[in-house]
């Protein structure tokens, strides 16, 4: 499995990479949502782990563009802002999961299970 981690914080990308490294074959990184389409064209990830708030293009609009261009790619929204409005925006944009950054272990469960497109937990 290939993943693309999209977050403008290098330390957060490193933390996520280390957390899931035993579950994936290849890991790619992008520093913001503006880079995500080109990164997906190059690496063709199975999963994109996308932060919401980033410099440049935010994760919700990047997810919308990504799902339009690469509908087979699964997107997990990760954020420090766990509120119903963000969850709803993520689902509407096409994310298949939502993970608060204070519960990054959930990424391991998500990457280990078959994807269920556009179904976000309450």
pLDDT of the residue at 122: 45
Range of the domain at 17: 2-112
Q: Is residue 66 part of a domain?
A: yes
This model's pTM is above 0.85: yes
Stretch 44-52: mean pLDDT, rounded?
95
pLDDT of the residue at 104: 94
Q: Is residue 46 part of a domain?
A: yes
pLDDT of the residue at 21: 95
Q: Any idea what the CATH number is for the domain that residue 55 is in?
A: 3.40.50.2300
Residue-by-residue DSSP string for 76-122: EEEES---HHHHHHHHHHT-SEEEEGGGTTHHHHHHHS---TT----
pLDDT tens-digit readout, 53-93: 988 889 999 999 999 999 999 999 999 887 889 999 999 99
Q: Is residue 70 part of a domain?
A: yes
Number of domains in the chain: 1
Instruction: Give 75's strand partners.
Output: 48
pLDDT tens-digit readout, 17-47: 999 999 999 999 999 888 899 999 999 999 9
Residue-by-residue DSSP string for 72-86: TSEEEEEES---HHH
Q: Is residue 100 part of a domain?
A: yes
């Amino acid at each position: 499995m290939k993943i693309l981690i999209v977050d403008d914080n290098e330390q957060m990308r490193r933390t996520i990479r280390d957390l899931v490294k035993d579950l994936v074959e290849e890991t790619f990184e992008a520093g913001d949502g503006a880079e995500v389409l080109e990164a997906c064209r190059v690496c063709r990830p199975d999963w994109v782990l996308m932060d919401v708030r980033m410099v440049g293009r935010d994760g919700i609009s990047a997810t919308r563009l990504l799902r339009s261009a690469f509908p087979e790619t699964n997107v997990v929204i990760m954020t420090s802002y766990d509120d119903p409005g963000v969850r709803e925006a993520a689902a509407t944009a096409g994310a298949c999961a939502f993970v608060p950054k204070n519960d990054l272990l959930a990424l391991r469960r998500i990457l280990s299970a078959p994807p269920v497109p556009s179904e976000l937990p309450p």
